[in-house]
Amino acid sequence: MIVIKDLHKKFGKVKVLNGLNLSFEDKGIHTILGPNGSGKTTLIKSILGMVIPNQGSIEFNGKEILGEWEYRNEISYLPQIAYFPQNLKVKELLQMINDLRPGSKKEKELISLFQLESYLDKKLGNLSGGTAQKVNLVITFMFDSPLIILDEPTVGLDPVALIRLKQLIKEEKENGKTILITTHIMSLVEEISDDIVFILEGKIYFKGTIDLLKKQTEQSNLENAIANILEESYA
């Protein structure tokens, strides 16, 4: 589905992506892990065409994405931090997104899933972080796209919402979607992911199943395995 070859990206003098090669062919849930500043979000934004790489290529379903936009019809994206136009109401934002990108299916269902009915007439600027994240989730999941990219989906969510989000992700997986997730919550990773990708200093350090990672690092749980890689890299 996505083939990334030799991707380089510098911001000023900081090299964020440093010859990254990666491909996602299979359906299922792929988790992208890595320390802060390792280039996870830059990678995702490159896939979306928001960040323009200095070098390398990204192919989506066999087509180079640079300068293209139609392929984004096939992608739902949840940004890391829910920035919205502050003076709009939730209802107006949803209307606007629907107008700009027709074809949403599950809007009503998602609003009731995350209990947002009473917030529809509130301004986005007045929402709490968690509620804004729920709106963010509704916008992401209301489209029926084969690829779903979630950048830190759990930030600010309460336990109930978190359980529902996990349920939602699993449902989408059963519908045959490809899902990319970045997160720092290891329990979530262990619970839902089919395989993991570990990014370190702008390169892929590890790609495979959780069991394989545990075996390679000779650790019994994921958190320690990850910490083990990090400590080695710091040393």
Partner 1 sequence: MLKILKYGFFDLMRSRWSYIYFLFYLSLGFILLFLNQDVSKAVITLLNIILVLTPLIGTLFGVMYYYNSREFTELLLAQPIKRRNIFLGQYLGIALSLSLSLVLGLGIPFLAYGLFQSSEIFNFFTLILIGAMLTFIFVALAFGLALIFEDKIKGFGLAILTWLLFAVIYDGLFLILLLVFDDYPLDKFALFATVFNPIDLSRILILLKLDISALLGYTGAVFQNFFGTSLGKIFSITLLSFWIVIPVLFILYKSKRKDF
In the complex with partner 1, the residue whose CB is nearer, 10 or 166, is 10
Closest to 124 measured CA to CA, from 78, 84, 79: 84
How many other β-carbons are positioned within 10 Å of the β-carbon of residue 71? 18
How many other β-carbons are positioned within 10 Å of the β-carbon of residue 193? 22
In the complex with partner 1, the residue whose CB is nearer, 87 or 118, is 87
Tokens 């940004």 sit on residue: 79
In the complex with partner 1, the residue whose CB is nearer, 23 or 54, is 54
In the complex with partner 1, the residue whose CB is nearer, 69 or 234, is 69
Helix (H) or strand (E) holding 230: helix 222-234
CB of 58 to partner 1, least distance (A): 14
CB of 78 to partner 1, least distance (A): 9
In contact, 104 and 142? CB cutoff 8 Å: yes
In contact, 120 and 90? CB cutoff 8 Å: yes
CB of 224 to partner 1, least distance (A): 35
In the complex with partner 1, the residue whose CB is nearer, 149 or 229, is 149
> Would you list the DSSP string of 167-195?
HHHHHHHHTT-EEEEE-S-HHHHHHH-SE
CB of 212 to partner 1, least distance (A): 32
CB of 162 to partner 1, least distance (A): 23
Question: How many angstroms separate the CA atoms of 156 and 152, rounded?
Answer: 10
In the complex with partner 1, the residue whose CB is nearer, 54 or 233, is 54
CB of 131 to partner 1, least distance (A): 16
The helix/strand/coil state of 152 is: coil
Tokens 């978190």 sit on residue: 162
Point out which residues bind partner 1 (CB under 8 A). Answer: 11, 45, 48-52, 67, 69-73, 75, 77, 79, 83-87, 96-97, 99-101
Helix (H) or strand (E) holding 148: strand 147-151
